[in-house]
With several copies, the nearest count.
Chain A
Amino acid sequence: MSEAAAIKKVTEHSPEEIEKVKNWINTEEYKERNFARSALVVNPAHACQPLGAQMVATSFEGALPFVHGSQGCASYFRSTFSRHYREPAAATCDAMTEDGAVFGGQNNLFEGLENAYALYKPKMIPVYTTCMPEVIGDDLTAFIKNAKLQGHLPENVLTPYANTPSFNGTHIHGYDAMLKSILETLTEGQSIEGKCTGKLNIIPGFDGNVGNLREYKRICELMGIPYTMLADSSDVFDSGCDGEYRLYPGGTRLEDAAESVNGKATLALQKYSTVTTMKWIEAEYTGEKVIMPMPFGVKKTDELILKLSELFDKPVPEQLKKERAQAVDAMTDAQQYLHGRKFAVAGDPDYLLGIVSFLLEMGARPWHVLCSRATKKFKKEMDALLESSPFGAGCTTYINKDLWHMRSLLVTDPVDGIIGDTHAKWAARDAKIPLFRIGFPIIDRVNLHRSPWVGYTGAINMLTMIANKFLDIKDETCEDQWFEMMR
């Protein structure tokens, strides 16, 4: 094409044209075309496997997460966690580049492990992978063995590793892969016939709320149940500021994790982010294995406490009975602010099941439930939960749809509010409804990762956040004649 002919004038959309399209994207017709998409994904509400692996890798005492692959990924995972928790999120990487693509990443791994170990003196270096080594098929088993054989790393340094390709599953699957690998490494040779630590192993799953993790621990402490939380991110991602930076501010003690194979019971509170781990634990661990839903709301917390009471033959402490009664008191006192309100919810599978069950308990009406990457099994479980209550009627569960699909739903079939992570704020703004930030990541508010959503206190926290926001809106949008002292 001759250059002159190719030169077009800079174009400008007319205001009318812009207005036309602006209205068009809110129509039923647009929604149909939008849902007809099969290749393009717009505003997905999930991240990739290695992010989940890093959450686990950082949640063990003295563990230095190690990304085998591209350094860009490591920096993205670190900045994502730092923006959510407003905390440091250390992780290192062996920075594979073009030559790695050709010759594989073994040399990078050698140098990376050597330097990481020397500089940061970790007790454990959990390794996980990015796209590149997965596509070119790096053999981590061999690489790590060679690294130790060739003296890049002392033999005794714990180097669990997991293949976490971002082109299948999401961050919750990376969490699962890394956790299984770390436990395999730590419990190696620790299983002693007949031995029982008398302890409960708690696996919280991929949960960006340190308040939730603390609530699980508090419940166990109140019930006098000794526990080990496997992948405990609560201190790592909520350490204090006292003038000294600590690279390893907490996490599950390695000895405790090692011993966990001889635990009295193992409890996973997120089914979908511990699938392979629990299958492995089923085979390898002593004691009972229990998978329960995240205890959002009163009924699910009751179930958890009854199970713990049964497992450890402990009475339900007065303090928890009191907290239960106070939660029921708060919910009965404030049900008028949520009853019948329609909600859209977006997030990870285990969070969605918990939030929806809390809404049903309050007489609220989940209406659009969306998980941008999930299995039919999950959809079946969600639909069953919805059918268990009259307030679930009319709700639709969407899997493998994204937040641009959600936007179409919100503007064509309006609801009162949407519950999800920060990414949902654009759809909430277009639909002119409030966003209740329960999920991961939350990078536009402060401290919402500190107070629990689970347990009896968590039920009060969720109820308070939602009810008070609706009342804020009422006060801020009503005409003078409807502005009132009492709400």
Chain B
Amino acid sequence: MAERKPIKGVTIESTEKLIAETLAEMPEKAAKKRAPHLGANEPTASPCAVKSNKKVVPGVMSQRGCAYAGAKGVVWGPIRDMVHVSHGPVGCGVYSWGTRRNLMQGVPGVTSFPMDFTSDFQERDIVYGGDIKLEKLLKEADELFPLNKGMSILSECPVGLIGDDINAVAKKMENELGKLVVPCNCEGFRGVSQSLGHHISNDSIRDHIIGKFQFREEPGPYDVALIGDYNIGGDVWAAKPILEEIGLTVKSVWTGDGEVEKIGATHAVKLNLIHCYRSMNYMCKVMEEKWGIPWLEYNFFGPTKIEASLRAIGECFDDTIKANVEQVIEKYKPAMQAVVAEYKPRLDGKTAMLFVGGLRPRHTIGAYEDLGIQITGAGYEFAHQDDYDRTAPEMAKGTLIYDDVSEFELEKFVEELKPDLVGSGIKEKYVFQKAGIPFRQMHSWDYSGPYHGYEGFKIFARDIDMAINSPTWGLVKSPFE
């Protein structure tokens, strides 16, 4: 990885000074806990000095979600042909209903279920337990939504506290209904962030789904699976065609626009291509150990990374595929150059700071750089060490790295570094826009997208230009003061 050019005014010293000043304003105990999670980037350091995956420091206003959010929101929600039951009180299901933009094909309510199924726990369910209600509920769901290919039971906080046994209920109902019924003990209070929710969900797939199905078609030499693309704003629909264009056969997608049976047959593919390493590396490792399937991390954000990834993927296959790769790269080059030609002049030299979930703070850097934008700060809500190790080389020396950054810290950092754009989530968008700083939601693509692949880069470039160069920012400063 070519080392990044240093960014004007951004040095290890200036960044460490900023960190120190910020920590100084915190209670001592909090500062002590937070210090290891903030650092000035050392591109070559390995492992990256920044610590991660620790409990939230109470009261600092972290942006993190919970295990249920990592399970239902990230992994299970996108699987289109299952009834996903938010098992517990009504809130979690309502807040996550349709708010992750994991688009899905199918007839809503018939073959796809972009809906909120819940057991709506009342006091009596807490007191007497919810297992009986769960059984009844699974029967009702299977009756009213007969074309479902399976049902998932996603535990909310109370379930784990009142001694319910959803695993037993799942097993019983799978037999009774002859349908996949997958338990997932993703109570919100488990672990430190969404991350354990991914892990628990990967385990549920391992224990209850994979290996139970086989593809209808005979296995082929170029069979691959797309792991860790959740079809946000149609990302899968922009990525898959490129892989097919270089000659691969994408047998299943984990889990964007996902089909559970195909997920259950993925053990037959030749190669697992993983985009979001954080949420799905677990099952790549399981499939590698149990079925010998190699896996490759790839990155479809921006032409530079797309080309590198295609060539890396090509390396895993024969010359036919390698030739196709070069052809496809040539085919889309003009279009990509046209995008860069149109937008780079208006974006070159701008800076951005990113704070997203577990992948994009590093994975989108290439796309920003393709447009001439330098990343002066980046961090993750719920990344682990291996994510930060992958991040350090992607960022210039001395840039700011922040793990599980709090509102307090991020405001200070942004105020100091004055980026031209902040890329983060809905909870941050309006904080920074009030301060007159252009913003893009890098969780939900601000209801735009896709941003993956060649088609995605056109939309990404347009949106970033729109955000940074919108004339409305020129109105923020009032003439009356």
Contact = CB atoms under 8 A, between A and B. Distances in A.
A389 interface: yes
Interface residues of B, number: 126
B143 interface: yes
Contacts of A336: 446-448, 463, 466-467
A116 B98 contact: no
A119 B89 contact: no
Contacts of B136: 38-40
B56 to A, nearest CB: 4
Given A47-B95, A333-B433, A363-B466, A119 B107 contact: no
B207 interface: no
A165 B471 CA distance: 44
A120 B93 CA distance: 31
Interface stretch (A6-14, A190-198, A257-265, A346-354): A6-14
Contacts of B99: 79, 83, 443, 485-486
Contacts of B29: 111, 114
Interface string A2-39: 01001111111100011001100100001001100111
B477 A39 contact: no
Contacts of A472: none
A40 B93 contact: no
A481 B105 contact: yes
Nearest to B469: A363
A41 B133 CA distance: 11
B30 A8 contact: no
B111 A18 contact: yes
Interface stretch (B4-12, B153-161, B302-310): B153-161
Nearest to A168: B123
A280 interface: no
A331 B475 contact: yes
B258 to A, nearest CB: 12
Interface stretch (A154-162, A210-218, A286-294, A299-307): A299-307
A40 B95 contact: no
Interface string A467-487: 000000000000011111111
Contacts of A117: 59
B103 A484 contact: yes
Nearest to A474: B447
B471 A360 contact: yes
Contacts of A42: 115-118, 144
Interface in B58-110: 58-69, 85, 88-99, 101, 103-110
Interface string B446-476: 1110000000000000110011011111011
B122 A168 contact: yes
B55 interface: yes
Contacts of B160: 101
A95 B472 contact: no
B203 interface: no
Contact of B407 (A90, A114, A246): A90
B123 A115 contact: no
A361 B60 contact: no
A166 B477 CA distance: 43
A75 interface: yes
Given A243-B476, A306-B479, A167 B147 contact: no
Interface stretch (A200-208, A226-234, A322-330): A322-330
Nearest to B149: A11
Contacts, number: 377
Given A135-B161, A245-B432, A391-B471, A75 B65 contact: yes
A40 B119 contact: yes
B338 interface: no
A379 interface: no
Interface residues of A, number: 128
A332 B214 contact: no
Contact of A40 (B117, B447, B471): B117
A79 B426 contact: yes
B466 A116 contact: no
Contact of A46 (B68, B90, B192): B90
A71 interface: yes
Contacts of A115: 26-27, 30, 57-60
A73 B69 CA distance: 10
A33 B144 CA distance: 8
A71 B65 contact: yes
Interface in A96-154: 96-98, 100-101, 108-109, 111-120, 130-132, 135-136
Nearest to A361: B471
Nearest to A91: B61
B103 A482 contact: yes
Contact of A71 (B66, B92, B444, B471): B66
Contacts of B444: 486
Interface in B240-265: 257, 259, 261-262, 264-265
A87 B430 contact: yes
Contacts of A130: 157, 188
Contact of B211 (A3, A83, A86, A333): A3
A38 to B, nearest CB: 7
Nearest to A373: B90
B20 interface: no
18 contacts: A7-B214, A11-B261, A46-B94, A47-B94, A69-B157, A71-B64, A72-B68, A75-B69, A94-B59, A95-B62, A114-B29, A115-B26, A131-B88, A165-B89, A245-B432, A340-B462, A480-B105, A480-B112
Given A244-B434, A245-B435, A332-B475, 12 more contacts: A10-B213, A39-B134, A39-B137, A40-B85, A89-B427, A93-B62, A97-B192, A166-B91, A245-B411, A246-B434, A430-B108, A485-B98
Interface of A: 3, 6-13, 17-18, 21-22, 25, 30, 33-34, 37-44, 46-48, 50-51, 66, 69-73, 75-80, 82-83, 86-98, 100-101, 108-109, 111-120, 130-132, 135-136, 165-168, 170, 239, 241-246, 298-299, 302, 305-306, 316, 320-321, 324-325, 328-329, 331-333, 335-336, 339-340, 360-363, 373, 389, 391, 404, 407, 423, 426, 430, 443, 480-487
